[in-house]
Structures are given as C-alpha cells and as structure tokens.
Structure 1
Amino acid sequence: MIKGSAPGRISGLAGDSGPERVLIAASFVNRVGNGLFNAASALYFTLVVGLPAAHVGAALTIAGLTGLLAGIPGGQLADRHGARLIMTAALTVQALSMAALVLVESWAALTVVATADQIAAAAGGAAWGALVARVGGERPARFRAKLRTFVNLGVILGTAGAGTAVALDTRAAYVALILGNAASFALCAALLLLLPRYPVLPAPERRRRWLAFSDRPFLTFTALYGAMGLQYPVVSLLLPIWISEHTEAPRWTVAALFAVNSAFCVLLQTRIGSRVETLRDGGGAFRAAGLLFLLSCPMMALAAHTPVWAAVGLVVAAVFVHSLGEVWESSAGFALGFGLAPDHAQGQYQGVLGLGFSAGQALAPVILTTVVLGLGTAGWLLLAVFFAALGTAGPPLARWGARTRPGPDVTTEAEARTTS
C-alpha cells in the first residue's frame, strides 16, 4: 500500500520548502525553453536564415570558447554580491540576446549575439551553482537530485515541442521556438525574485582570492569530472553514428534510445541521487558510474556483431545501463563538486568546475569520433576501460578531500558511519 495522498507525494517531489519549489520551477521553465531551442537552432540558421553550416558551426564554437572565460569571474561575483543578483542579471542578458537572434542575418551578427549569450550562460551557471548550494538546506543531495529530475523532464518536453516546429518547417515555427526560449529566460529571472535575499557569507580574513586554484583535491576532481563527462556525447553523438554505420538495427532505434536515456534518468535520479550526500558517498558513486560504463560500452560495441533483432535489444539494454551510470555520475558530481567547496566560495568553485566540464565537452566530439569510431570495437573497449579507471579514483579522491577540508563533511561522514 502506498502511503500519503497524491497531492502530498507531488508536493514532496517538487521540493521540501518554498525556496526549493521556486528554484525547481525556475529550472524547469528554463530547461523547457532550452529544449525548444537546442533541438532546432541549427536548422533555423541553415534552412531559414540561409547561413552555411560551416559558418554556423564556427560562430557557435567562437561563442562557446569565449563563454568559457566568464564562468569563474561570474562565480566570484556571485560569492561577493549574491548569487540571486548575478543569476537574475545573467538570465536577463540571455533573454535579450535570444530574442535578438530572430534579427540575425549574417555570420558576424550570429557570432556577436551568440557570444553575449554564452558569456551570460557561463557566468550564470556558476552563480546558479552557488544558489543551489544556498537553497539546498539540510538535505542538499535530495534537493539536487529532485532539481536534476525536473531539469531532465523540462528538456524532454521542450525537445518534443521542437519536434513539432521541425515538422511544420516554417519560419514562423522556428521563430516561435526562439522567442519561446527567450521568454523562458525572462520567466526564470522573474521566478528567482521570489527567493529570499540570502546574505553574502563572510570569507575568512586570511584567504587567497582565487582559493579554488590552490585546492589540489578539487582541481583533481575537476579534471576527472571533465574527463568522465565524455559519457554524455556517447548517447547523443557516438551511438547514433555507430548504429547507422555499423549495425543492422533500424534507424528508428536512434530516436528510441534518446527516449530510453531521458526516461530512465528522470525516473532514477531522485531515488539514487538523494542517497549520495557526503564526500564518501560521492567517491563511491563516481566509482559505480565508471563500472557501469565499463559494462555499457562493450554492449554497444557488440551490437555491430549481432543479428538485427538482437542488436535492437542489446542497444536498448546498453542505454539503460549507461543511463544508470549517468545518474550515479551526476550524483557524484553534486556530492563532490559542492562538498569540496567552502560555503563562502561556492560560486568560484562552481565556475572552475564548469570550466573543466565544458572543456571536456568541447573535446569530446573529436575524441569520440576519431579515436573510438576510428578503432571500431577496440575503441569502445578502450573507452570502457578509460571510464572504469576514472571511476576507481573516486574513493581515494574523496578521502583526500575529506582530510583537507576544515571539518563539516568529515564530521558528517563520521556521524553517518556511526549511525549506519
């Protein structure tokens, strides 16, 4: 028998406090808009505006690389002036720059507008991390897991809406997607005004301004997390190419695997992520993710050597295992990324972590398409071992981090072991 009323269960899933529910709602709205835009933006600029695909790619690459430079200063501003203020300002800039995209008719204009958007996105992302740390309260892992659940759900709904526009294939439909994303940024900024004005946390008198750059355990984790982030394009980029070029599976399998990946992440994130709270938990979760990827990658490779009926089932099963690993990996990222950072410097630390992750995502396409696809089955096996090796570093990294922290997480872990 399931205890509790349906409204009570829904309220619990949506957050344990008013600020949590506000931030979850803001995240959901924003990600619906992102899903609307990201799934069809390239088609708009190439088919409607008429820019060559190479020009669009170059503009977005320049914008992305420039934006990387804004994350750490944005996080520092959030620590010194308040995360809500910086996040609201960044969202306002993104709303304006996104709306301006409907006026873009040249490569230069696209580059300028996209660069403004990416600078605001990077600065806002670091401030967002600091805001999440403040709102999380006594059960930060539980809140972050719920937040990611609604983020994933928002992307799914937004992507479904984008599919409708792509099917219509008209300028009006694509413009509606862009303006819808702009509206999502504006609404997200408005929702953040409902949050309390959290006071800026005082920093110790004797401290380095850029503390994160001298924190060796955190920098090590940033490098590991950025490298483990290669797992995200495995499903979105590598596997679709592998299916279409090396397996007998029908092409609709590509769409099905996206649905399977998204659905499992939504269903499992809160259940698993809410249990990953301490640094010790995060280290174990990171190792579990590596072991799951060690299993999923060979399954994907094996699909090229099986009959069509077996290839479909094998790919779906592999994506399920990979999705489970993704949930453990993101939970580890929350526990270690936030747990290693001092409260007064969360924005700065999240900026550094975001830079490391974004750098990994920028390198991922060339690594996956040249190394893995170039080596074929051997490439998949090499990738599996790579993920597993990264994962094994999780527990010792967590212990190293715990030894070098001032004490709160160490105390928490000791209490957890005593009560377990």
Structure 2
Amino acid sequence: MRSSQRARGGPDFGPQRALIAASFVSRVGNGLFNTAAALYFTLVVHLPATQVGVGLTIAGLCGLAAGIPAGNLADRYGPRPVWLTALAVQTVAMATFVLIDSWLAFTLVATLDRLAGTAAGAAGGAIVSRIGGERPAAFRARLRTYVNLGVVLGTLGAAFAVQIDTRPAYTALILANAASFAFAALIGLLRIPAYRPLPRPPGHGRLAVLADRPYVAFVALYSAMGLQYQTVSLLLPIWLSAHTDAPRWTVAAVYAINSGVCALLQSRLGSRVETPRQGGRAFRIAGLLFLLSCPLMALTADVPAWVAPAIAAAAVCVHSVGEVWESSGGYALAFGLAPDHAQGQYQGLFGIGFDAGQALAPVVLTGLVLGLGHAGWLLLGVFFATVGAAGPPVAAWAERTRPARTPAQERPDESPPLETTTDGVPEHR
C-alpha cells in the first residue's frame, strides 16, 4: 500500500525523478539533432547555408510569440496539458523534417517546431515550479545537471552519424530526436501529476508580467548575460581557428570541458542559490568570473601553439564555473519572483528574453568582439561584470515589490493534483 503520510506540500520525489527522466531523454534527442542539423539541411536537403540561417532566424523570432500565451494557458488549465501538447507538436514537426525538400517547407516546419518549443518551455517552467518541493533550487540544479549530461550523450551519439555522412544516418538522428519528444511526453503523461491551476487574484490580467517592472528588468539582465553561452560555443571556437595556432582538437576539448565542469558543479553550487537575494549575488559572482575568463580566452592568440590549449582549458574552466553561478542565479530569480498562480506567464516572458538574447548573440559576438580583437574580449568581460553587478540591486528592488505572503498563500498545494493518488503519482487503470 502506498503511504499517504507525506507532509502536505513536502517534496514528491516520484514526479521529480519523472521530470528529470523526461528532460534527460528529450535533451539526448536535442544533442543528436543539433550536432548534425546544419549538415543535414545543407548537404542532404541541399539548401544553401544562408537560406538555412535565414529560415532559422525567422523560426526563432516567430517562436517568441508563443511564450506568454502558452504560459497563460498553463496557468489557466494547468501546466501538464499544455506541456504534453507542445511535446506532441514537436514530435510531429521533427519527424516532418525528413520529408522537406524546399526552403519554404523548411522554414514552416522550423517555425512550428520553435512555437512548440517555446510553449513547452513556458509550461515546463510552471511544472518545475510545482514539483520543486521544499528545496526548489536543489531540484533545479539536479535537473540541469541531467540536462547537460543528456546533451553530451546526444552529441557523442551524433558524432557517429556525422562520420558515416549518409542520408539514412542523418535521417536516423532526426527521427531519434522526434522519438525523444514522444518518449518524454509519455513519461510526463504516466508519472507527472496533472496539477490544478491556482486561483488568480482579482485584476490579474494576461499581460500582468509586462507591468512587473522589476521582473522585466531581471529578464533583460538575464538576456544580456545569456551572451556567455555562445561565448564558448561560437566565439571561442572561431577565435581559436582564425587567430591562434592551437591544434584543431582544442575546439572539441573546449566543448567537453565546458559540459563536464557544468555537470560536476551544477548541483553542488546551484543548491546554494535558493532565494532571489542569493540569485542576485550569484549573478555578481558570475560577472566577475566572466571578467576573468574573457581576457584569458583572448590570451590564446599571444602564446605558442603548444601553450594555447592549456590557456583555453583554464579560461573555459573559469567561464564554466561562472556559467553555473549565472544559471543558478537566473533560476532563483525567475521562479522566486514569479507569483505562484502565474508561473506559466512569467516563465513565458523569461523564455522570450533568453531566446531573444541568443538570437542576437551571433551578431554581437562575431561582429563586435571579433572585429575589435583583444579589445573586444576585454570589453565583453567588462560588459558581463557590469551586468552581473546589477544583479543584487535588481533582486533587492524586486523583493521589495513582492506582496507579503500569508500562511494561506504558501505554495504547497492545498489539494491533491487531479487524477492522482495520495502520493502525487498519476493513477492509470
């Protein structure tokens, strides 16, 4: 017999494990697809690289439109139905990629995929908020650790298909990614509770998050700080290839070190960042670490070829520790500042801000930083440190504007989720 003695509102580790499993599976699929996507569309579908870039840009910009509407649906009807629907649409869209033969078809399918991906992010954020239990920061840190591991495993698996370099090999990667979305949805359907929507206070509108100036300011900060992700994945590889004599394997080593450090430290450091105030301080720490790592990356152009890999490795280690602090601070603020009844809407805006920053990152990093050379790297580090320094005051401002919570408003769910047993696991006969 299942125990029903869990303290009301305490953490339910069954749904936590289920969400970790679903996220891990889908990110393995993402790693498989993202590694080889550009090669598939250019070498197999025979689309010019410029057309692929334009199509992905259009899809990314259109996808932003789904964030807040999907979040509102998650708040109104519960996050699980919206999340499962978005995963189903992603399954279909991804599988459809194997049938496209023109730029228009590619752009339409990519746009559908991005719309569903944005919706899944908003609804998934609301699920994370509900499942987090008494220590949400620790859970989010564990979740991100497994997400990183999933991407690494998917990337390693894709290397075999890239080496084979045939249409069937690339098709297998795409269908595997589609299957990963379907499998994640199945896990969610069977093991993640269908949480009831929380009651909204009077006057809370569908665009209330846009009137929350401290939260909008935080999203802007996080969007700007998000340039750091592509500093390692885009800017540094180009710099190593074009401005240094480092061996080509250095680029692969950079990816491996970044993923490894994040996976090793995410739970250890991320679990320490639970409150918005701690999140603001984590932002400041991250900015200072990026201020150190960026000049180190630039230094690889000024040392002998046999020293450059060591300098790059040291720089990426420092940068990766900053990434852990940055992501932990971002999650603490994104979830901690959002009202419980509107987590979907707020996570929708959070996702929009991040995606917009990532869309602009290639232009900023390759156009400005590479164009200025060493000075560009130094300015980038100063930029990150400045953004990080704004974290504590923004967090303090936001906390001052949050309404005081009464005991009746504390978030542990006052009633069990729909269609669940007493331990929060969906019951299926």
| Alignment partner, residue 7 of structure 1 | none
**Which structure dedicates a bigger proportion of its chain to helix?**
1
**Alpha-carbon offset, residue 370 of structure 1:** 1.1
| Alignment partner, residue 76 of structure 1 | 72
AA of the residue aligned to 1:188 = A
| Alignment partner, residue 242 of structure 1 | 239
**Alpha-carbon offset, residue 405 of structure 1:** 0.7
1:163 to 159, 162, 169: 159
Task: Map 1:202-213 to 2 at 5 A.
Answer: 202-213=199-210
Identity of paired residues, percent? 66
2:21 to 14, 25, 33: 25
Count of equivalent residues? 395
**Alpha-carbon offset, residue 208 of structure 1:** 3.3
Q: Give me the whole-angstrom Cα distance separating, in 2, the residues matched to 1:68 and 1:349.
A: 14
Unpaired runs of at least 5, structure 1: 1-14, 410-420
2:258 to 249, 258, 261: 261
Q: Give me the whole-angstrom Cα distance separating, in 2, the residues matched to 1:38 and 1:207.
A: 39
AA of the residue aligned to 1:372 = V
Task: Map 1:157-306 to 2 at 5 A.
Answer: 157-193=153-189, 194-306=191-303
Find out whether 1:120 has 2:121 as its counterpart.
no
TM-score normalized by the length of structure 2: 0.91
| Alignment partner, residue 3 of structure 1 | none
| Alignment partner, residue 47 of structure 1 | 43
Deviation string 1:64-90 (CA, Å, 9 cap, x unpaired) is 111111111111111101110000000
Deviation string 1:96-117 (CA, Å, 9 cap, x unpaired) is 1111111111111111111111
TM-score normalized by the length of structure 1: 0.93
Deviation string 1:191-234 (CA, Å, 9 cap, x unpaired) is 11121121110011232332111111100000000000000000
**Relative to 1, partners in 2 of residues 1:16 and 1:312: Cα closer, same or farther, differing over 3 Å?**
farther
Greater displacement, 154-163 / 104-113? 104-113
Greater displacement, 306-315 / 316-325? 306-315
Find out whether 1:386 has 2:373 as its counterpart.
no
2:98–2:171: 8 Å Cα contact kept in structure 1?
yes
Q: Give me the whole-angstrom Cα distance separating, in 1, the residues matched to 2:204 and 2:194.
A: 25
2:339 to 342, 361, 365: 342
Find out whether 1:402 has 2:399 as its counterpart.
yes
Q: Give me the whole-angstrom Cα distance separating, in 2, the residues matched to 1:45 and 1:219.
A: 36
Q: Where has structure 1 moved over 6 Å in runs of 4 or more?
A: none
Q: Give me the whole-angstrom Cα distance separating, in 2, the residues matched to 1:248 and 1:16.
A: 52
Q: Give me the whole-angstrom Cα distance separating, in 2, the residues matched to 1:39 and 1:79.
A: 34
AA of the residue aligned to 1:58 = V
AA of the residue aligned to 2:39 = L
Deviation string 1:371-403 (CA, Å, 9 cap, x unpaired) is 100000000000000000001111111111111
| Alignment partner, residue 154 of structure 1 | 150
Deviation string 1:163-191 (CA, Å, 9 cap, x unpaired) is 10000011111010000000000011111
Deviation string 1:262-282 (CA, Å, 9 cap, x unpaired) is 000000000000110011110
Deviation string 1:126-174 (CA, Å, 9 cap, x unpaired) is 1111110001011100000000000000000001111100000111110
Q: Give me the whole-angstrom Cα distance separating, in 2, the residues matched to 1:252 and 1:205.
A: 59
Find out whether 1:139 has 2:135 as its counterpart.
yes
AA of the residue aligned to 1:350 = Q
Q: Give me the whole-angstrom Cα distance separating, in 2, the residues matched to 1:268 and 1:407.
A: 33
Q: Give me the whole-angstrom Cα distance separating, in 2, the residues matched to 1:214 and 1:185.
A: 34
Find out whether 1:36 has 2:23 as its counterpart.
no
**Alpha-carbon offset, residue 408 of structure 1:** 4.6
Q: Give me the whole-angstrom Cα distance separating, in 2, the residues matched to 1:210 and 1:62.
A: 24
SS for the counterpart of 2:380 is: helix
SS for the counterpart of 1:277 is: coil
2:79–2:194: 8 Å Cα contact kept in structure 1?
no
**Relative to 1, partners in 2 of residues 1:373 and 1:230: Cα closer, same or farther, differing over 3 Å?**
same
Q: Give me the whole-angstrom Cα distance separating, in 2, the residues matched to 1:46 and 1:396.
A: 46
2:12–2:133: 8 Å Cα contact kept in structure 1?
no
| Alignment partner, residue 326 of structure 2 | 329
SS for the counterpart of 1:309 is: coil
**Alpha-carbon offset, residue 16 of structure 1:** 6.6
Q: Give me the whole-angstrom Cα distance separating, in 1, the residues matched to 2:160 and 2:329.
A: 35
| Alignment partner, residue 424 of structure 2 | none
Q: Give me the whole-angstrom Cα distance separating, in 2, the residues matched to 1:209 and 1:165.
A: 45
